[in-house]
A and B are shown apart, each in its own frame.
Chain A
Amino acid sequence: MLVENRQQSFEQLIASLDMRIQLTESLIESLGMERGVTRTNPFEHRRAARFRCNGECITRISEQSFHMPGQEAESRAIVRDLSRKGVGIIAHQQWYPEQTVVVQMPKATVTARVARVRKLGPNCFEIGLIVVGHELSE
């Protein structure tokens, strides 16, 4: 019952937020195609495998974190991948390294620190987060 309620409230909340990400063509192509463990390269310092997931989430800049001009506190985003230690997000706005954000997904809520940010296109930023805490819904 509790799980269903959480699921419902997540869906209600996400529906109340506009999806403002402007997906790039390559991202649109890869969103439906890629599955399983993601590729890596020697320049990345990964300790855990990343899995593609492409689900929606709600992100919130933590109240304890510093804020930069023009940033919206709460927004809708896409979770690109997940690993034991990190989350990859696509967001419409720029976040800044060391900011703390809360990522709310249907079955878990993760608190994470921004590690790096790369602009992919207008209103489209790829953000690497390091997980600092999590809470499972079931």
Chain B
Amino acid sequence: MLGIAFIPISHLTLSSLFAVGANVYVRPKGSKEVILFLSADQIATKEALELLAVSPDIKLFIDQDQSHTFQKHLRDNFDLWFEDGRIPAHNKAAMLSEVVRNVLSEEFTRNDTLSIVDATKHLGVQVARLATEKSLTGAEVCQILHHDYGTFTHSGNVAFYCSLLAAEMGYVGEELAEIATGGLLHDLGKLDIDERVLNKPGKLDEFEFRIIKEHPLAGFRRLTKVNEATQTQLLMTYQHHERIDGKGYPVGIGGEDIHIASRICSVADVFEAMTSNRPYRGALSHKQTLEIMAESVNQSFDKEVFECWSKIVSSRLSS
């Protein structure tokens, strides 16, 4: 296997009902070598999946060259699997997380706002549907999602968190899907920010920080050019860095002048950023993150929204 690059995948993307379209390898605990676990057209047995579920030390990988095939396979079949009652919700969440990353990565690279809005609209509906699955807890979603910090991963995770939070606050149906799509779109303006500033692995100077602060405005401007974006999505993009005390940006509005979906997005955005690995620091634990965020309630965050999120995340910590 020397010379081949591998990328990790979640065991939850496997099912005993279908093959994944790419060779899947395992790396047993303590080993540097990977061995073939499933060939591209082979279906995993129930026993093998049960073993993987209770063995977190066994890591799964696919050949980087087959990554596109794997992603395409998930993307092409996801709608079908989504309707399949035999596939557990947490498997669907893992698959959807992969699909979201893949679609966002492709669409953001293509850099066509209309195409991005179209693609995210469909994904938003799926994310919202999963968020209302009773068998899937918010805690499970936090566990399933990737936590490497990249705009695609971040936006996907924020969409999941926004949906969970909005669902808990009573949003359903189209409104919930609209918020999920808004989560996927909220950092659209980062496409207009110089990557050297965006990915700088250290502290930003004043000039760089001013550039970063342009992204809500840039995203809003992009969305005003396409008719398909809704007002909720426009405002989530524009206002997700506003603070409840009026000291945020770009406008400096506060309290209920900030759209409720933007207040939801703000909590989800900060939580996601703090619990993800960055080039210059590791991820903070959920507990630490909630403690730090709690200090900013009524300054940065809406109290009611934060308390609701805290309840969703804490259900896992206490269990």
B253 contacts the other chain (Cβ, under 8 Å)? yes
Most buried by B among A43, A96, A97: A97
Residues of B within 8 A of A118 (CB): 250-252
Chain B residue contacts of A119, Cβ below 8 A: 246, 251-253
Secondary structure call for the B interface: helix
Interface residues of A in 31-79 (CB under 8 A from B): 43, 66, 68-69
Q: In the docked arrangement, what's the CA distance between A43 and B253, Å?
A: 22
Whether B27 is near chain A, meaning CB under 8 Å from some CB there, is: no
**Set of chain A residues within 8 Å of B278, measured between Cβ atoms:** none
B86 within 8 A of A: no
Distance from B192 Cβ to chain A, minimum over Cβ atoms (Å):
13
State whether A98 touches B221 (Cβ < 8 A).
yes
Q: Does A7 contact B (CB under 8 A)?
A: no
Contact check, A116 vs B250: say whether CB atoms are below 8 A apart.
yes
A91 CB → nearest B CB, Å = 12
Does B250 contact A69, Cβ atoms closer than 8 Å?
no
Task: Determine if A109 is an interface residue (Cβ-Cβ < 8 Å).
Answer: no
C-alpha gap A125/B252 in the complex (Å): 10
- Measured between C-beta atoms, what is the minimum distance from B52 to chain A in Å? 49
Tell me how far the C-beta of B250 lies from the nearest C-beta in chain A, rounded to whole angstroms. Answer: 7
What's the Cα separation between A15 and B221 when bound, in Å? 34
Name the residue of chain B whose CB is nearest to the CB of A43: B210
How many residues in B have their beta carbons less than 8 Å from beta carbons of A?
16
The answer to whether B252 touches A97 (Cβ under 8 A) is: no
Q: DSSP class of A's interface residues: helix, strand, loop or mixed?
A: loop
Cα A14 to Cα B224 with chains together (Å): 31
Given the known interface contacts A96-B238, A97-B217, the answer about A68 and B251 at a Cβ–Cβ threshold of 8 Å is no
B220: which of A43, A94, A96, A125 is its contact (CB, 8 Å)?
Answer: A96
Residues of B within 8 A of A97 (CB): 217, 220-221, 224, 238
Interface residues on A, range: 10 to 19
> In the bound complex, how far is the Cα of B224 from the Cα of A117, in angstroms?
16
User: Judging by beta carbons under 8 Å apart, are A94 and B231 in contact?
Assistant: no
Q: Report A-chain residues with C-beta under 8 Å of the C-beta of B253.
A: 94, 119
- Chain A residue contacts of B217, Cβ below 8 A: 97, 116
| Min distance, Cβ A104 to any Cβ of chain B, angstroms | 24
Q: How distant is the Cα of A55 from the Cα of B257 in the complex, in angstroms? A: 28
Say yes or no: A94 contacts B210, CB within 8 Å: no
Whether A68 pairs with B231 at a CB distance below 8 angstroms is yes
| B207 interface hit (Cβ, 8 Å) | yes
Residues from 237 to 262 in B contacting A, C-beta threshold 8 Å? 238, 246, 250-253, 257
Per-residue CB contact flags for chain A residues 75-95 toward chain B (1 = under 8 Å, else 0) read: 000000000000000000010
Residues of A within 8 A of B224 (CB): 66, 96-98
Residues on A with C-beta less than 8 A from B238 are: 96-97
- Distance from B246 Cβ to chain A, minimum over Cβ atoms (Å): 7
**Cβ–Cβ < 8 Å partners of B207 in chain A:** 43
**Chain A residues whose CB sits within 8 angstroms of the CB of B234 once the complex forms:** 68, 96
Cβ contact of A117, chosen from B221, B251, B257, cutoff 8 A: B251
Q: Which residues of A contact B252 (CB under 8 A)?
A: 118-119
Q: Which residue of chain A has its CB nearest to the CB of B246? A: A119
Bound form: Cα–Cα A66–B224 in Å: 8
A94–B242 alpha-carbon span in the complex (Å): 14
CB contact under 8 A between A69 and B220, given known A43-B210, A118-B252, A119-B253: no
Which partner residue on chain B sits nearest A115 by CB separation? B217
Interchain CA distance A66-B225 in the complex, whole Å: 10
3 shortest A-B CB distances, which residue pairs? A119-B252, A98-B224, A117-B251
Q: A68-B231, A68-B234, A98-B220 are in contact. List 11 more A-B contacts (CB 8 A).
A: A43-B210, A69-B231, A94-B251, A96-B234, A97-B217, A97-B238, A116-B217, A117-B251, A119-B252, A119-B253, A125-B251
A to B CB contacts below 8 Å, 29 in the list: A43-B210, A66-B224, A68-B231, A68-B234, A69-B231, A94-B251, A94-B253, A94-B257, A96-B224, A96-B234, A96-B238, A97-B220, A97-B224, A97-B238, A98-B220, A98-B221, A98-B224, A98-B225, A116-B217, A116-B250, A117-B250, A117-B251, A118-B250, A118-B251, A119-B246, A119-B251, A119-B252, A119-B253, A125-B251
Q: Which residues of B contact A (CB under 8 A)?
A: 207, 210, 217, 220-221, 224-225, 231, 234, 238, 246, 250-253, 257
